[in-house]
A and B are shown apart, each in its own frame.
Chain A
């Protein structure tokens, strides 16, 4: 299918309920590979819920019901025969608060690899190499190369968030989801994480949830504006901020609500 080459995430008529509350209503969007797409909108509009549907991590709450389709890599990920583990290998996630595991830096980076490969087929040198590669790509290698055995929870917040991005890379994901990845960081940290995101975007599909309008403007190529569980507008970033199609979008980006 030509379509699935063109888009890496295709959402069709997707509805999601937490118990009786409908958090997403008839969501239909196509997200392109190789660019950064921002999900914006006021609190409680469903942007994080939508993001967390792409790797099905929402399901851990147990009271979640869905209808519709989410097609990722030509496969409806909501089908029963989908392996959640391999979905999460292809679709990585970065969280709002940096959440390195309370194990060593090295083990954090190797964690995903070890979860997805039988222990015997992993050679030590190969893991060493992938760890170095991932840390280098995230701009962290120089800072931590002599302390790989140290606990990752002792790093600065910015380094922790870089580590959380780096640990996705050995799994060779196609899509990286980020849920307000900069909200715990200071200005300098935000800048460097945004740089990292734009370095990574050619090779991945990146979807970022953000509360920060300026960040959406700076760091993303396309923006999806959501309101009360519905998609209001999906446009190239420059267009959405300069010339929004919908009045609701206009009011939001002007700061009239949200």
Chain B
């Protein structure tokens, strides 16, 4: 009986040995495919945008606030995207002002202060928050947050930079919480005991020991939050007002109540109206390249930061 089993096992092992080469080839292909996909994406987007490179006025694109892709009869279109670049920048900055304190605070609470059962519940809820589709956030921005901003701040339009930033912030928070919480949890417990035994309070431990010890992880968390904010499309499109607009005074906090237009929302909103291969179509792909470049930079930087963590520990 046992020898029978053994011979079956030996046969299985032999078959597996024989299958090893094809399996290895298949796995290798899977591994390389992701590189292939990334390469293909870059190639495709560059290919679509390339014809416009020689005659696009780059100075105008980056530094002029004049986005008129479909001009009135008889006028030349102009592609000054500074207002749109500003829109994405503004949403990113304002949303991070909301999301970082919120996310970091939540991570500290979950990892250091919450009793074990509440910790589990909060983590599940936050994961749920991460799973909400962005169209739902846009919807919330449109029908709930908009009127709320109108009522509370007494303004005429509630669909604006503030609204979009709050929506993006709420979408970025789960990401920031989970990565920050990982970083805090990775801090050895012996550090906490050491500080506690020296008479430090729990709060002192958080900002004198845990923040410095988890610094890289917290930085990576905020970088990924930024990436989320830059790339978000649907909620931004719906909640920002989608209007190309640069404030006159950057130091006036009321600029958060103005409507803005983001890079992502521009592509999503205008692509359906363009003729395939037209100049407008190609310029939208140039915007795509700008977005892709930003997200590559953010990913590489946060990757380097996370690698830094591993090296240290």
Contacts and interface: CB of A to CB of B under 8 A. Distances in A.
A99 B205 CA distance: 14
Interface in A54-90: 55, 57, 60, 62, 84-89
In the complex, which of the residues A57, A111, A168, A171 has the most CB atoms of chain B within 10 Å of its own CB atom?
Answer: A111
A181 interface: no
Interface string B160-202: 0000000000000000000000000000101101111111110
- Give me the 3 closest cross-chain CB pairs, A-B, nearest first: A99-B190, A88-B199, A112-B198
Contacts of B157: none
B209 interface: yes
Nearest to A98: B190
A233 B196 CA distance: 31
A102 B190 CA distance: 11
Nearest to B188: A99
Interface of A: 55, 57, 60, 62, 84-89, 92-93, 95, 97, 99-103, 111-112, 115-116, 164, 167-168, 171
Contacts of B198: 88, 92, 111-112, 115, 167-168, 171
Nearest to A60: B196
Contacts of A60: 193, 196
A62 B112 CA distance: 13
Nearest to B196: A57
A99 B188 CA distance: 9
Interface residues of B, number: 18
Contact of B191 (A55, A93, A102): A102
Given A97-B190, A115-B204, A102 B212 contact: yes
A84 B201 CA distance: 9
B199 A101 contact: no
Contacts of A57: 193, 196-197
Contact of A92 (B115, B197, B200, B201): B197
Given A102-B212, A111-B208, A85 B201 contact: yes
A57 B208 CA distance: 19
Contacts of B208: 103, 111, 115
A258 to B, nearest CB: 26
Contacts of B213: 101-102
B111 to A, nearest CB: 14
Contacts of B191: 99, 101-102
A112 B212 contact: no
Given A62-B115, A102-B212, A95 B194 contact: yes
9 contacts: A60-B193, A84-B199, A85-B201, A89-B199, A95-B190, A95-B193, A101-B194, A102-B209, A167-B198
B195 A88 contact: no
Contacts of A164: 194
B199 A93 contact: no
B108 to A, nearest CB: 16
Contacts of B190: 95, 97, 99
Contacts of B195: 101, 111, 115
Given A112-B199, A115-B199, A115-B201, 11 more contacts: A57-B193, A60-B193, A85-B199, A85-B200, A85-B201, A89-B199, A95-B193, A101-B195, A111-B208, A115-B208, A168-B198
Contacts of A101: 191, 194-195, 209, 213
A85 B195 CA distance: 11
Contacts of A88: 196-199
A168 B188 CA distance: 20
